[in-house]
């Protein structure tokens, strides 16, 4: 696969999303600071009845809370899009997995599933293409979500294994009848992506565990 | 993150000269008003270039600096400050930053690195911390010379 050509399109989308989210974050910051200023004026300068003041402060707290929520999501979206900026870079695996699980949490909620992370401290940085790792994780998670009945959960975690990193995606819960995990995502396309990051996928059906193994550092010759 | 780490009872906010640098004019002006309500006087400029000409004329104690700005970005300003005004303490306040940006900023000696929008009390507290560090640096320099 010609990596440069293959990454040109996602990089373009990423740059648009990144600049858009940056802009949105600025808008939210202005809304939040304006609400903060109004709170300050009510709290510090007084005016109005105590009952009115309480009402205004409650409204402002609600604005503050919502902008905080949006701002949090935008941070993940922005970081996610920046992953596609470079073909290879050193990155924090926990952050890369956190981005994908947070951004997929809505999809999981819609299916009444829980998507969770269990991050270990002090994992070494990985050098490679984080966006491709995220894409493969997305495919595995999507596959597991497709086959799990509501009430199930999917756990994503990473652990160091010598000069490699194992990313484990483990499902828990009832498998929907007739929807055993299909291999639609682990097709030729995934194989190509796996090759590009020198990765490997192994499955342990008894534990409902799929492991993506990637080298800690991909060599420039790969 | 603890809100009151540096601020001590009896500290006088009006002693500190703060410069706010951000290309988002409405954001930075509102922030200046909020700091003002807390007796912390600040000046605002809207680009890296403006920041440098302001500092040349009137060096502040603490600069609160955005990273992503058209023209000179935060890192460019920081590099200039590190060379030209080593006592000036900088707090980065940014909407987005990569780990690399943060590492580079820390390597250049920023006092702290905060995400935008900031918790106002935390920002005020970090400004105090930065001011104290500056005072310490100046005192050390004076006692050794």
Compute φ and ψ for A160, nearest 5 degrees. -80, 140
Mean pLDDT by groups of 10 residues along chain A of 222 residues: 61 72 81 87 76 79 82 84 80 92 85 90 90 90 90 95 94 82 61 87 88 82 48
For residue B34, list chain A residues with Cβ-Cβ distance below 8 A.
33, 36-37, 40
Of A200-209, B100-109, B120-129, where does the model show the most confidence? B120-129
Identify which of A42, A22, A33, A41 has the alpha carbon closest to the alpha carbon of residue A64: A33
Mean pLDDT across B19-39: 91
Which domains can be identified in chain B, with CATH numbers?
14-144 (3.40.50.2300)
Residue in the block written with tokens 């930053």:
B97
Distance from CA of A200 to the nearest CA of B (A): 27
pLDDT band at B2 (very low <50, low <70, confident <90, very high): very low
pLDDT band at B1 (very low <50, low <70, confident <90, very high): very low
Predicted pLDDT at A26: 81
| Residue B45 structure tokens | 């400029």
User: Domain residues of chain A, as ranges?
Assistant: 3-82, 89-215
Please say if the pLDDT value at position B133 is more than 70. yes
Predicted pLDDT at A63: 83
Q: Residues B69, A96, A208, CA angle at the centre, nearest 5°? A: 160
In this predicted model, what pLDDT tens digit does every residue of A138-167 receive, in sequence order? 889 988 998 899 999 999 999 999 999 999
Predicted pLDDT at A186: 56
In this predicted model, what pLDDT tens digit does every residue of A185-219 receive, in sequence order? 556 678 888 888 889 999 998 888 999 999 998 65
Helix, strand, coil abundance in chain B, percent, nearest 5: 50, 15, 35
Predicted pLDDT at A71: 82
**What is the CATH topology of the domain spanning A89-215?**
Heat Shock Protein 90 (3.30.565)
Q: How far is CA A75 from the centre of its chain?
A: 10
For residues A84 and A79, what is the distance between their CA atoms, to the nearest angstrom?
9
Assign residue B97 a region: left if phi > 0, alpha if psi is -120 to 50, beta otherwise?
Answer: beta
Predicted pLDDT at A6: 62
Please say if the pLDDT value at position B5 is more than 60. no
User: Who has greater pLDDT, B32 or B141?
Assistant: B32
Distance from CA of A168 to the nearest CA of B (A): 24
User: A30 vs B98: CB contact, 8 Å cut-off?
Assistant: no
- For chain A, say whether B27 makes contact (Cβ under 8 Å): yes
Q: Are B42 and B68 in contact (CB under 8 A)?
A: no
Identify which of A84, A90, A99, A63 has the alpha carbon closest to the alpha carbon of residue A16: A84
Helix, strand, coil abundance in chain A, percent, nearest 5: 55, 20, 25
Residue A197, SS3 per DSSP: coil
CB atoms within 10 A of CB B115: 17
Q: Are A173 and A216 in contact (CB under 8 A)?
A: no
Helix residue ranges, H only, A48-179: 50-82, 93-110, 130-147
CB atoms within 10 A of CB B82: 15
Mean pLDDT across B20-24: 93
Compute φ and ψ for A70, nearest 5 degrees. -60, -40
Predicted pLDDT at A180: 61
Find residues 64-103 of chain B whose CB sits inside 8 Å of chain A.
Answer: 68, 95-96, 98-99
For residues A131 and A89, what is the distance between their CA atoms, to the nearest angstrom?
10
Predicted pLDDT at B4: 47
- For chain B, say whether A1 makes contact (Cβ under 8 Å): no
Q: What is the mean pLDDT of chain B?
A: 88
Which of A62-71, A93-102, B95-104, B114-123 shows the lowest mean pLDDT across its residues? B95-104
Identify which of B60, B61, B77 has the alpha carbon closest to the alpha carbon of residue B22: B77
CA dihedral for A8, A163, A144, A104, sign (positive or negative): negative
Distance from CA of A2 to the nearest CA of B (A): 26
Predicted pLDDT at B3: 44
For residue A68, the number of C-alpha atoms closer than 13 Å in the C-beta half-sphere is 10
ipTM above threshold 0.90: no
Which DSSP state fits A176?
P
Please say if the pLDDT value at position B6 is more than 50. yes
């Amino acid at each position: 696969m010609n990596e440069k050509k293959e990454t040109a399109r996602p990089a373009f989308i990423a740059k648009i999303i990144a600049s858009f989210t940056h802009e949105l974050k600025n808008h939210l910051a202005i809304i939040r600071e304006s609400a903060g200023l109004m709170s300050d004026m009510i709290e510090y300068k007084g005016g109005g009845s105590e009952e009115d003041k309480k009402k205004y402060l409650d409204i402002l707290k609600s604005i503050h809370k919502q902008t905080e929520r949006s701002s949090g999501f935008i941070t993940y979206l922005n970081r996610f899009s920046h992953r596609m900026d470079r073909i290879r870079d050193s990155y924090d695996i926990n952050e890369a997995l956190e981005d994908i699980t947070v951004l997929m949490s809505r999809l999981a909620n819609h299916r009444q599933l829980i998507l969770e992370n269990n991050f270990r401290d002090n994992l070494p940085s990985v050098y490679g293409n984080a966006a491709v790792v995220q894409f493969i994780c997305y495919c595995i998670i999507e596959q597991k979500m497709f086959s799990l009945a509501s009430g199930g959960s999917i756990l994503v975690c990473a652990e160091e294994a010598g000069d490699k990193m194992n990313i484990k995606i483990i499902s828990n819960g009832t498998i929907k009848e007739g929807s055993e995990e299909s291999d639609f995502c682990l097709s030729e396309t995934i194989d190509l992506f796996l090759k590009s990051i020198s990765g490997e996928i192994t499955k342990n059906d008894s534990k409902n565990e799929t492991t993506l193994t990637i080298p800690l550092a991909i060599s420039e010759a790969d | 993150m603890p809100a009151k780490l540096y601020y001590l009872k009896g500290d006088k906010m009006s002693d500190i000269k703060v410069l706010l640098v951000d290309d988002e004019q409405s954001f930075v002006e509102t922030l200046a008003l909020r700091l003002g309500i807390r007796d912390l006087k600040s000046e605002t400029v809207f680009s890296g270039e403006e920041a440098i000409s302001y500092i040349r004329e009137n060096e502040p104690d603490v600069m609160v600096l955005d990273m992503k700005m058209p023209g000179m970005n935060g890192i460019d300003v920081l590099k200039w400050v590190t060379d030209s005004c080593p006592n000036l303490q900088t707090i980065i306040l940014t909407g987005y930053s990569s780990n690399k940006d943060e590492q580079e900023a820390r390597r250049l000696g920023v006092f702290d690195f905060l995400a935008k929008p900031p918790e106002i009390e935390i920002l005020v507290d970090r400004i105090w911390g930065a001011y104290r560090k500056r005072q310490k640096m100046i005192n050390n320099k004076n006692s050794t010379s």
